[in-house]
Structure 1
């Protein structure tokens, strides 16, 4: 129940920041944007204190750790793979075009006799 209240408070703080943006319509834009950022920051801070917030932060940290373990391809490997994909697409396009024209010739010229 406490986590739900924390989450509701976080949403209320975010909404207060957005409302502040419109209430301060006569003020400079910098002050209006700061009100939204303050509401967002306060909302995130309150949400981070809840159990789902702590789990999300843990998940985010583990995701960053896993991303650092990824072996990214080199520029040469990326260029070679891209070239192979384009070459395969061209070969398939030619194959399908030849198949289409062959079937067209068989159906229209040989079977139906249309020229």
Structure 2
């Protein structure tokens, strides 16, 4: 019942957010050729920011921004590899890829030679 009540109270906020964003988009198109492109972009970004702010005041918007904050906290906990570690692992991957490629080429050549011998198409490599 409480969730249903929140959803009902959020409907006007969602409508306002959508109208603000639509107004920014319409304004961006309407101002074409009348003002600098930079001004049009600033107006569009301001409308988008205001629409996000209004949407964040809804229950779902609040949950979303809370989730984004939690994701940022977890992102800060990540230990990123150093430049040297990244270079070393990249080189290892490249070397292993070349080695596996050579092994697969050799196996393909050998099996092709065996199959050609079995079906009688010659024995030369």
Q: Which residue of 1 aligns with 2:67?
A: 59
User: Is 1:49 paired with 2:49?
Assistant: no
Q: Which residue of 1 aligns with 2:5?
A: none
Shift of 1:13: 0.7
Unmatched segments (≥5 aa) in structure 2: 1-7
Counterparts of residues 1-115 of structure 1 (less than 5 Å): 1-29=8-36, 30-108=38-116, 110-115=117-122
Paired positions, count? 114
Shift of 1:36: 1.2
Inter-partner Cα distance in structure 1 for 2:77 and 2:39: 41
Unmatched segments (≥5 aa) in structure 1: none
- Which aligned segments of 4 or more residues in structure 1 are displaced greater than 2 angstroms? 29-35
Inter-partner Cα distance in structure 2 for 1:105 and 1:93: 18
- TM-score (norm. length: structure 2): 0.82
Tell me the C-alpha RMSD between the 2 structures. Answer: 1.5
